[in-house]
Structure 1
Amino acid sequence: MRQGEAPPDAKWSGPSHAGVKAPEPIVIADPTARFAATARRLTHLADGHPMEAWLCFMATLAQAQHAVATTLAPATALSQVEVERAVEARLPPLAADGHRRSAAWRDGLALLLDQIDGREWPLAVQEAMEQLRDSDAAALDRLADAFLRGELAASEAGTAVFVVAALQVYFSGSAARLQASDLRLLEQRSLCPCCGSPSVSGLIIATGITPGTRFLYCSLCSTAWNHVRAVCITCGGTRKLSVQGIEDDPGVVKAETCGECHTYAKLLYQLKDTQVDPYADDLASLGLDMLVTEAGFARHAPNPLLLVGDGEAMAE
Structure 2
Amino acid sequence: MKQAEAPPNAKWSGPSHAGVKAPDPILLADPSRRFAATAKRLDDLAAGHPMEAWLRFMAGLARAQHAVATTLGPAGTLGADAVALATEARLPPLAADGHRRDASWRDGLMLLLDRIDVAGLPPPALDAMEALRRGDDATLDRLADNFLRGRVTTADAGAAVFVAAALQVYFTCSAARLNVDELRLLEERGLCPCCGSPPVAGVITASGTTPGTRYLYCSMCSTAWNHVRAVCITCGGTRHLSLQSIEGDSGLVKAETCADCHTYSKLFFQVHDMQSDPFADDLASLGLDLLVAEAGFARHAPNPLLLSGEDGDR
Matched residue, 2:29: 29
Q: Deviating runs (4+, > 4 A) in structure 1?
A: 13-17
Contact 2:29–2:224, Cα closer than 8 Å, also in 1? yes
Q: How many angstroms does 1:89 deviate by?
A: 2.7
Q: How many angstroms does 1:87 deviate by?
A: 1.1
Matched residue, 1:55: 55
Contact 2:205–2:213, Cα closer than 8 Å, also in 1? yes
Q: How many angstroms does 1:124 deviate by?
A: 1.5
> Quick one: which amino acid aligns to residue 204 of structure 2?
I
Q: How many angstroms does 1:17 deviate by?
A: 4.6
Matched residue, 2:190: 190
| SS across alignment from 1:215 | strand
> Quick one: which amino acid aligns to residue 37 of structure 1?
A
Matched residue, 2:72: 72
Find the aligned partners of 1:113 and 1:92 in 2 and give their Cα distance.
Answer: 29
Contact 1:30–1:176, Cα closer than 8 Å, also in 2? yes
Q: How many angstroms does 1:309 deviate by?
A: 6.2
Find the aligned partners of 1:309 and 1:164 in 2 and give their Cα distance.
Answer: 13
Contact 1:242–1:257, Cα closer than 8 Å, also in 2? yes
Contact 2:90–2:184, Cα closer than 8 Å, also in 1? no
Contact 1:161–1:309, Cα closer than 8 Å, also in 2? no
Farther off after superposition, 38-47 or 149-158: 149-158
Find the aligned partners of 2:118 and 2:276 in 1 and give their Cα distance.
Answer: 30
Matched residue, 2:84: 84
Matched residue, 1:176: 176
Find the aligned partners of 1:103 and 1:86 in 2 and give their Cα distance.
Answer: 22
| SS across alignment from 1:78 | coil
- CA deviation string 1:170-221 (max 9, x = no partner): 0000000001110000110000000000000000010100000000000000
Find the aligned partners of 2:96 and 2:161 in 1 and give their Cα distance.
Answer: 17
Farther off after superposition, 88-97 or 203-212: 88-97
Q: Any gaps of 5 or more consecutive residues in structure 1?
A: 1-12, 311-316
Find the aligned partners of 1:68 and 1:33 in 2 and give their Cα distance.
Answer: 12
Contact 2:241–2:256, Cα closer than 8 Å, also in 1? yes
Matched residue, 1:9: none
Contact 1:172–1:220, Cα closer than 8 Å, also in 2? yes
| SS across alignment from 1:271 | helix
> Quick one: which amino acid aligns to residue 209 of structure 1?
T
Q: Aligned residues: percent identity?
A: 70
CA RMSD of aligned residues (A): 1.5
Contact 1:38–1:277, Cα closer than 8 Å, also in 2? yes
Find the aligned partners of 1:120 and 1:46 in 2 and give their Cα distance.
Answer: 16
Matched residue, 2:5: none
Matched residue, 2:136: 136
Matched residue, 2:237: 237
Matched residue, 2:287: 287
Matched residue, 1:296: 296
Q: How many angstroms does 1:77 deviate by?
A: 1.1
| SS across alignment from 1:254 | strand
Find the aligned partners of 2:88 and 2:308 in 1 and give their Cα distance.
Answer: 33
Find the aligned partners of 1:149 and 1:216 in 2 and give their Cα distance.
Answer: 21
> Quick one: which amino acid aligns to residue 116 of structure 2?
I
Q: 1:194-273 counterparts in 2 under 5 A?
A: 194-273=194-273
- CA deviation string 1:20-43 (max 9, x = no partner): 320000000001100000000000
| SS across alignment from 1:61 | helix
For normalisation by structure 2, the TM-score amounts to 0.92
- Quick check: 1:97 aligned with 2:97? yes
- CA deviation string 1:261-289 (max 9, x = no partner): 11100000110000000100000000000
Matched residue, 1:10: none
| SS across alignment from 2:290 | helix
| SS across alignment from 1:43 | helix
